[in-house]
Each structure stands twice: as C-alpha cells, then as structure tokens.
Amino acid sequence: MTDAYCKLEARFARLSRYAHLGAMAGWDQLTLMPSGGSEARAAAIAELQVLMHESLTDDATRGLLDDVDPSTLDDTQRANLREMKREVDDARVLPPSLVEAQSLAGARGERAWRRCRADNDWQGFLEPFREVVRLAREEATIRAEAAGCSRYEALLQKFEPGMSVAELDRLFADMRQWLPGLLQEVVEHQRATVDYTTPRGPFPQQDQQRLGQRMMDWLGFDFEHGRLDVSLHPFCGGVPEDVRLTTRYREDECFSSLMGIIHETGHARYEQNLPAALRGQPAGKARSMAVHESQSLSFEMQLGRSAAFLRCLRPWLVEQFGDQPAFEADNLVRLAQRVEPGLIRVDADEVSYPAHILLRYDIERALIEGDIEVEEIPGLWDEGMQRLLGLDTRGNYRDGCLQDIHWTDGAFGYFPTYSLGAMLAAQLMAAARRERPDLDERIAAGDLKPLFYWLKTNVWQQGSLYDTDELIRRASGESLNPAHYRRHLRTRYLGE
C-alpha cells in the first residue's frame, strides 16, 4: 500500500465527516427546523456542498489518484480506489458555482413545495420549480457531453451507476406489456373472491408511534444509532452511525404510517450494517439506489405484506388499539394485499405501484431532454393516471404532480430505481428461499434473523466492493431478471 493511497483514505474520511454534518443539517431542515431558519440553513448547506466539491476535485486529490500503483493494493483497496476515482470523475465535470446554485434552488423548491402542496397551488410552485429544472438541465448537459450519453441517462447514472436508458427501457418495456393485464386480472379476481373489513379508528398518533418503534425493534433497528421522527414526506437519512427515519401519521387509519416505517427501516438496516471496516470510504457506501430500494421493498413488500409476517403482527395491533374484526389474522392479510389503484404512490399496493413509476419516468425523462416544459406536467400527469390506473386527477395537484418531494430539489433519475429495486427485491428473496427452504416457516414463527443474516451476508456487508451487476450475480446467481418480480406478483395475488 502506497503513501498516496493512505493520503487518499484520509481525504475521503474527512469528506465523510463533512457529509455527516450535511446529513444532520438536512434532516433537521426537513423535520424540526423553524421556518424562519430556512434561508440561513440553505446557505449553510450550499456552502458545505461547495467545500466538499472543491476538496473532492482539487488537483491534490487528482494527483494522489494518479500516484497510486494498484498492484500494491489488495482487492478491497483496489475496489475502494475504483470508487474514489468514480466519485472524483463524477464531481469534476461540474463547476462549484453550479453545485452551489443547485443546493440553494433545491432548498427553495422544497420550501415552496411544502406550502404549495398544502394549498393545492401548482401555479405558485412554478417559479421556483422552473429554476430547479433549468439547473438540472444544465447539469445534465454537462454530464452528457462528458460521458457521451443522453442528458437523462447522465442524471440516471447519479443514482444508478452503470444503468443505461436502453437497458432501463428494455426492462420497463417488458413490464409495460404485462402490467396492465395483471392489474386488471387481480382487481377482478379480488372483486369476486376477496372481502375485507377496514379497521375503525381513531388511531392516536402517539399509539401509532409506539407501535412503529416496537416494529422497528423487531426488524432489528439499532436505536442507539438512530431514531424515528415525523416529516411531510417519509424518508431515511443520516449516516450509518446515526440513521434518521421519518414517517407521517393519519389518525383515521394506521397502516400507511406502519408500512412507511417498515419501508424506511429496510433502508436503515442496510445503512447500519454496511461494512464497519470501510466506514468513511467510498467502498463502504451503499451500492446504488436500486439496491437501496431493494432493501426497503424487501422489508415493506416482500416481508411486511406477507401472510406469515402479518399474522405475527395481529397481537401487537390488538394490544395497541384494542380488538376488532379488522385485526383478525386473515383479514389483515386481505387488507394488506388488497389491490386498489389509488392516487398516492407511497400508499400504493404492490401491483399498481409500478404504474406510478412509469408515469414519473416518462414525464421526467421528457422534461430533462427538453421535449416538454414544466407547464405541461399537470396535463401529462392527468392523462397518464387515467391511462395507467383509470383515475381522474384533474385539478388535484396535492395528490397529483405535487405529491412527491423528489423533483423539488432536482432528483431527476431517482424514480426508476423504485421499480428496479422491486425487481431486485423479488430476485433476492427467491435466492434467500433457495438457500433457506424453511425461511417462511421461520418468519411465521416470528424469527426474522435467518432473513436478516442472509441479507447482511449477501448485500449489506458488501457495500460497494462490487458493481451492481456483480453484487446481484454473487447474491442470486444471475444478473437482474424481472421474471422473478412478475412471478412473485402472480403467486401472491393470483395464487399461481
């Protein structure tokens, strides 16, 4: 190991500490910060982003990368060097002025979104949103010219390194072929065969929070290194040493917050179990957002909506909210597995959820490529929701194109990773069942440790030692194969 490599490790450890502070400031900004602090916080975070960008891209860092002799490194160090170079190359194409402008515009966009979503005010959101889009297009153009790809693909690869638009279109084209028919088939099947009772509230927020924390404990969340809070949009943030989860509550029902907590706990377990020996180094980070979403969806969809898991949940619901017919075990399964197209993505059932992603993918890709402008989004949203899910969203911006936080700060290219993650979650669960044929029996008995051990061994502890395709092949024996996802949906919802 060379002196240059040791200096690089120290530099990236310092950058990790900066990122730690930025993550905590960002979490506070979305949860507890008083509204009057928004401008000062936005400026502070932007300043930190520029500082990190300059440290990552300066000539000294580039020189150290050039000085390292890979032959002197072991396999882990070579993987870390590869990820260092990727991060540096990714950052060097952007000028610091753009980094600062995007950070400030994103903070203003998020602040405007909070207000405008509450007021169902799309027109009021347009001015800050135009600036976010303008800067995102500028970034996309710079990245595309450097990488020799389309503008949207350049942003997609920020979240999913190595994923091309051509490959994404191939995967989504397959889903577009079978998803509408499957959705209709499941809805008709459930209409004829499935009846369920809806739980009766109210469900006080403090009781829901207690249940959620108990659920997190069962799912293995380490409360000495994290916490649960409330935000307008559920998210998981922070750093592996201090993971911050949020959800939102409605007192007329209790399942949306609970499923949100289960989802975010999947993200959190991944973060808390990344390789400790590589903490602060690029190879110790989560592999990609599709892999990250595969973990949250392994928890929420694969595990959290399974009959085995839900039957274990019944006593807790009764203890927290009192007994009622809706909490009977079979009804809980019918309730959690009901397929009923709705307006809100984060509350969507497992079968209709991909339609929400296809809608957002089509719109954001056209927006970044310059084929549409922001004024056209509501009309395209209304048309897409009617075509994909048969729902009317005209005039309902709050539950339509203003429902998500992602576009407010320029996270274009993120949405496809949800469906990629769902495909991967089904593939990983199939692989886990092959290795542990008793897995469902253990879950039914309340023992989740075999599943978590498998995920920890095959995904969490691998960090970014391998690229995404190699990680998937090592864990499951093959590259990403969407057939597992389709098979899972047909088995769970049609009994095939």
Question: How many other C-beta atoms are found inside a 10 Å radius of the C-beta of residue 177?
Answer: 10
361 to each of 123, 261, 413, how far by Cα in Å?
22, 25, 8
Is the pLDDT at 409 greater than 70? The verdict is yes
Under the banding of pLDDT at 50, 70 and 90, the label for residue 478 is very high
Give the N- to C-terminal CA distance of the chain in Å, as an integer: 55
- For residue 233, what pLDDT is reported? 81
What is the Cα–Cα distance from 47 to 99, expressed in whole angstroms?
9
pLDDT tens digit sequence for 22-31: 999 999 998 9
Q: Classify residue 165 by burial, with Cβ atoms within 10 Å: 0-12, 13-18, 19+.
A: buried
- For residue 3, what pLDDT is reported? 92
Q: Where are the domains of the chain?
A: 3-159, 161-496
Is the pLDDT at 374 greater than 70? The verdict is yes
CB 281 within 8 A of CB 9: yes
Please give the mean pLDDT across all residues of the chain.
96
DSSP state of 256: H
How much is the average pLDDT of 233-240?
92
Residue 251, token pair as written in the block:
């007192």
What is the Cα–Cα distance from 121 to 119, expressed in whole angstroms?
5
Which runs of consecutive H residues, i.e. helices, occur in 93-197? 96-119, 122-147, 151-159, 165-193
Under the banding of pLDDT at 50, 70 and 90, the label for residue 194 is confident
- For residue 484, what pLDDT is reported? 97
Whose tokens are 């469902």? That residue is 440
Amino acid in the structure at residue 429: M
Which residue is catalytic, options 131, 264, 300, 364? 264
Of the candidates 53, 32, 234, 39, the residue with the CA atom closest to the CA atom of residue 139 = 53
What is the Cα–Cα distance from 488 to 432, expressed in whole angstroms?
14
Q: Does 264 qualify as catalytic in the annotation? A: yes
Of the candidates 233, 254, 235, 255, the residue with the CA atom closest to the CA atom of residue 244 = 235
Q: Tell me phi and psi for residue 139, to 5 degrees.
A: -60, -45
What is the Cα–Cα distance from 379 to 402, expressed in whole angstroms?
13
pLDDT tens digit sequence for 255-306: 999 999 999 999 999 999 999 999 999 999 999 999 999 999 999 999 999 9
CB 185 within 8 A of CB 494: yes
Question: How many other C-beta atoms are found inside a 10 Å radius of the C-beta of residue 78?
Answer: 17
Residue 281 CB partners (closer than 8 Å, separation 6+): 9, 12, 13, 16, 80, 83
Domain 161-496 has CATH 2.40.30.10: no
CB 285 within 8 A of CB 464: yes
- For residue 72, what pLDDT is reported? 95
CB 212 within 8 A of CB 261: yes
Is the pLDDT at 1 greater than 90? The verdict is no
Continuous segment of H or E residues that includes residue 265: helix 255-272
CB 425 within 8 A of CB 458: no
Instruction: Give the rounded percent of residues in the chain with a pLDDT score beyond 90.
Output: 96
CB 284 within 8 A of CB 464: yes
Amino acid in the structure at residue 303: L
